[in-house]
């Protein structure tokens, strides 16, 4: 891809409200200023940063924009991951924590992209059958956060492969609300959760990153 993770991060940071995406440059939240525990979004970002780097490495190795066949392998991984995540949407506790949950998720978008690309829809087992709150919140964090990086992947899918938000690259397109707004609302939901759910949410985020990493390795034959 043309956008390196570093340049992608700096470009995106210019487009997304700093308070939502870049705690290093944002004013510290009230809890941090008062010496209280950091909010959940901050902990997730800091404590899963190595996992995010690992995704960059796997994506670089998989070369999803080499051609449409390679890209379809990425979409197959995305579909399976989105299916895992959307399976959690029925859980009443998750719905209570994220009231706008129904506007999220990209399972059907990924499925339509696979059809556009003439690729089979994977039918492997769900990974989230036995996941509940608070781990579910961490799974959703990984999925929602990936919509930020997807801005760059979307551009690449357009320029390298000629795909669009209506053909092949639906899964990378912004939500109708816009990426920054949807992310900001999600971060607000994360940060409204009580401290006793935070460790579980971070464990869930690690499991979700592990799952996406395993899917990338599987579909890219890495
Ligand atoms: C090469 C592929 C990728 C690129 C270029 C990329 C890039 C980015 C960028 C630029 C951000 C915003 C960072 C900021 O605002 O400072 C971001 C955030 C994030 N990305 Fe990625 N990403 C990629 C792949 C992934 C994948 C595969 C996942 C997970 C499945 C993922 C999960 C996340 C999460 C959870 C966040 C939110 C971090 C936070 O808490 O602020 N990314 N990514």
Indicate the number of domains in the chain: 1
Asked whether 161 lines ligand 1 (CB < 6 A), one says no
Asked if residue 206 is part of any domain, the answer here is yes
pLDDT band at 35 (very low <50, low <70, confident <90, very high): low
pLDDT tens digits, 151-182: 999 999 999 999 999 999 999 999 999 999 99
Helices and strands in the chain: count of H runs, count of E runs? 11, 0
Asked if residue 28 is part of any domain, the answer here is no
pLDDT band at 25 (very low <50, low <70, confident <90, very high): very low
Asked if residue 119 is part of any domain, the answer here is yes
Is the per-residue pLDDT at 51 higher than 50?
Answer: yes
3-class DSSP assignment, residue 38:
coil
Rg (CA), the chain: 17
pLDDT band at 144 (very low <50, low <70, confident <90, very high): very high
Asked whether 142 lines ligand 1 (CB < 6 A), one says yes
Is the per-residue pLDDT at 150 higher than 90?
Answer: yes
pLDDT at 3: 38
Is the per-residue pLDDT at 7 higher than 90?
Answer: no
In terms of C-beta distances under 8 Å and separation of at least 24 residues, what long-range contacts does 14-17 make, across chains too? 15/151, 15/180, 16/148, 16/179, 16/180, 16/183, 17/180, 17/184
Distance 20 CA to ligand 1 centre (A): 13
Inter-residue contact 86 to 147 (CB < 8 Å): no
The mean per-residue pLDDT over the stretch 68-88 comes to 98
Question: Residue of the nearest CA to atom 13 in ligand 1?
Answer: 9
Task: Name the residue with tokens 């959760």.
Answer: 193
Distance 46 CA to ligand 1 centre (A): 12
Boundaries of domain holding 98? 37-220
99: exposed, middle or buried (C-beta count within 10 Å: 0-12, 13-18, 19+)?
exposed
Asked if residue 13 is part of any domain, the answer here is no
pLDDT at 160: 98
Is the per-residue pLDDT at 115 higher than 60?
Answer: yes
Asked if residue 31 is part of any domain, the answer here is no
CATH for 138? 1.20.910.10
Asked whether 5 lines ligand 1 (CB < 6 A), one says yes
pLDDT at 9: 40
Asked if residue 194 is part of any domain, the answer here is yes
pLDDT band at 56 (very low <50, low <70, confident <90, very high): very high
Ligand 1 pocket test, pick from 61, 80, 149, 183 with the greatest ligand atom count within 8 Å of Cβ, gives 149
In terms of C-beta distances under 8 Å and separation of at least 24 residues, what long-range contacts does 63-67 make, across chains too? 63/220, 64/1, 64/153, 64/220, 65/1, 65/156, 65/157, 65/160, 65/161, 67/161
Asked if residue 23 is part of any domain, the answer here is no
Is the per-residue pLDDT at 200 higher than 90?
Answer: yes
User: Tokens standing for 88?
Assistant: 């959690």
Inter-residue contact 91 to 136 (CB < 8 Å): yes
């Amino acid at each position: 891809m043309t956008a390196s993770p570093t340049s992608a991060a700096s470009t995106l940071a210019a487009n997304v409200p700093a308070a939502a995406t870049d705690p290093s440059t944002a004013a510290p939240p009230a809890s941090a200023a008062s010496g209280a525990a950091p909010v959940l979004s901050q902990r997730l970002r800091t404590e899963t940063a190595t996992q995010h780097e690992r995704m960059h490495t796997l994506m670089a190795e998989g070369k999803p924009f080499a051609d449409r066949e390679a890209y379809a392998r990425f979409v197959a991984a995305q579909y399976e991951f989105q299916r895992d995540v959307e399976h959690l949407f029925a859980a009443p506790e998750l719905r209570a924590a994220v009231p706008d949950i129904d506007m999220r998720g990209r399972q059907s978008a990924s499925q339509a992209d696979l059809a556009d690309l003439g690729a089979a829809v994977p039918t492997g087992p769900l990974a989230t059958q036995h996941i509940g709150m608070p781990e579910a919140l961490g799974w959703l964090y990984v999925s929602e956060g990936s919509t930020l990086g997807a801005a760059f992947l979307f551009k690449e899918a357009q320029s390298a492969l000629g795909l669009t938000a209506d053909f092949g690259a639906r899964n990378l397109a912004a939500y109708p609300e816009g990426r920054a707004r949807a992310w900001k609302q999600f971060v607000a939901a994360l940060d409204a959760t009580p401290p006793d759910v935070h460790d579980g949410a971070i464990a869930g985020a690690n499991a979700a990153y592990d799952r996406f990493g395993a899917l990338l390795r599987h579909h890219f034959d890495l």
